[in-house]
Amino acid sequence: MSKFRNYFLTGLVFLLPAIITGYTLLFAFRLLDNFMGNIVLYVFGHTIQGLGFILSMLAIIATGALGGNILGRRVLRFGEKILEHVPVVKGLYLGSKQLTRSLFGKNASSFRRVVCIEYPRKGIYTLGFVTGELPLGALIGNRPPAGREPGAGGPEGTEQVKDESAGALLPEGRVFSVFVPTTPNPTSGFMVVVPEKDACHVDLSVEDGIRLIISGGALKPAKWTARDK
């Protein structure tokens, strides 16, 4: 019985990545195929499997080619301005645009580096990506500090500003915005605000960090694997 169990687990290890890849590609195919499926149905009077996918790919390529010249960029920018003025659509579109460019853009520098933070509570650590630096004044509404705690400070003796209206001690210094992706879909997640001293730098590239998160920690970076040996 143990042999069959080992055979099953061995087969699962080999087949599961292929099954997940196949289902992901099938989902993407159906998504793009249905995207243009209504146009195919309207023109031909019936659906043609795969034609919607081909038209979707051509539309994506054409949009990319259009954005590659000055006139095309103006046309696309005009469409963006329309979306940016629709109340409900505006926030969703701008957030999706920023995240998409962070992941797939040519200058995808929004994810600056990988950090490890204590989230969602003390004692539990999570990988995240530094997306930018936030001014402390903006976080507390640009209110002048009501007082300073004498002798209070962080681990290295940095003073902390007390915001009496909020009843909390806010650290001085740099504060980072950190994006914490979900597994296995890194396009969704949470944005948390972390003081610089609480964001531990991880010696990983952004690509290795995304790969590690998508795999749920199964795909370790090559440098870690070599170190384990």
Give the helix ranges, DSSP H, for 45-177: 51-66, 70-84, 87-104, 136-139
Backbone angles phi, psi at 25, to 5 degrees: -65, -40
Q: What DSSP state is assigned to residue 203?
A: S
Per-residue pLDDT of the chain (229 residues; tens, 9 = 90+): 677 888 788 887 778 778 878 888 888 888 888 878 888 888 888 878 888 888 888 888 888 888 778 888 888 888 888 888 888 778 788 777 776 766 666 555 567 889 999 988 888 999 999 988 887 666 655 455 554 444 444 444 444 555 444 445 555 678 888 999 888 777 788 889 888 889 999 988 888 888 888 888 888 887 776 665 5
- Distance separating alpha carbons of residues 208 and 195, to the nearest angstrom: 24
Within 8 A by CB and 6+ apart from 99, the residues are: 187
Considering the entire predicted model, what is its pTM? 0.49
Residue extents of the structural domains in the chain? 2-104, 113-228
